[in-house]
Amino acid sequence: MNRIDRIFQDLRPPGNTAGGKALMPYITVGDPSIQTTGRMLSAVQDAGASICELGIPFSDPVADGPVIDASMTYALSHGATVEKIFEMVSSVRPSLSIGLVAMVSFSIVHRIGLSKFIGDAKDAGFDGFIFPDLALEESGPAREAAAKAGLILSMLIAPTTPDDRAVQIAKACTGFVYVVSRAGITGERAELPPELPDRLRHLRTVTDLPMTVGFGISSAEHVRQVVSVADAAIVGSGMMRRIAEARSQGEDQTVKMVGDYTRDLAAGLVPA
């Protein structure tokens, strides 16, 4: 069984329809360094994260706001490459039990070659992928290649996605369904959209996959609101903003901050 499937299965055991909930922090690999990212993975695991979404830096990020865009620019300017990222993941994977999902532009995958990229990612220790710029109509080969490798592939459902298309995307996902909580680019928000619960309820009628929600989540209270209707909360810009602020304090302090912030967020997994 894929590690992502097993994590959600363990959180939602037979006979328990509610089950536990998952925290999925996002980290841009290579900010402030690839070595530091490796240490951060241990920190988020120890602090209560179940899965970590690892952003592979790209020069033209898709749907990412200024915080994540800046983190990718920083990582690229400091030498982050796909090869180095895979080497780092391979070195830390034996010490980790959390799931690792690569958030990566499909243009990078296309440049390297679909079979090679998925094979190398599997060998490194990734459990699956999110290709934010891969259209459903063009996703067949990638979904087939990921399934053949035993890896999951999730696609994004935006608030602006029509219901019939959202259903098609949900059915095409494996591992989990990634539901974007609000329209626009990523970034922290003060509150979550009121229409989110209805969208999740509708999607649950067409798939048994866990529902994960991202975009705009940055506090324990946000996490608590999300997991009251979803299976996992994804936190990206809130994490990367804090990493940017901590860079000048050195690697040890940055890693500590990541652990502390993850621990704060994980408090939202428990009902108030």
46 is catalytic: no
d(Cα 266, Cα 252) in Å, to the nearest integer?
Answer: 21
Looking at this protein, which amino acid is placed at residue 165?
Answer: R
**Strand locations in the chain, DSSP E?**
22-28, 51-55, 99-103, 128-130, 152-154, 156-157, 177-180, 211-214, 232-235
- 74-83 contact pairs (CB < 8 A, 24+): 74/28, 74/30, 74/31, 74/32, 74/244, 75/28, 75/29, 75/30, 75/31, 76/30, 78/30, 78/31, 78/32, 78/33, 79/30, 79/34, 80/29, 80/30, 80/34, 82/56, 82/108, 82/112, 82/117
d(Cα 73, Cα 201) in Å, to the nearest integer?
Answer: 37
Catalytic residue among 31, 53, 69, 127: 53
Catalytic residue among 5, 64, 69, 127: 64
d(Cα 25, Cα 214) in Å, to the nearest integer?
Answer: 10
d(Cα 111, Cα 175) in Å, to the nearest integer?
Answer: 25
The token duo for 107 is 């243009």
251 is catalytic: no
Just list the catalytic residues.
53, 64
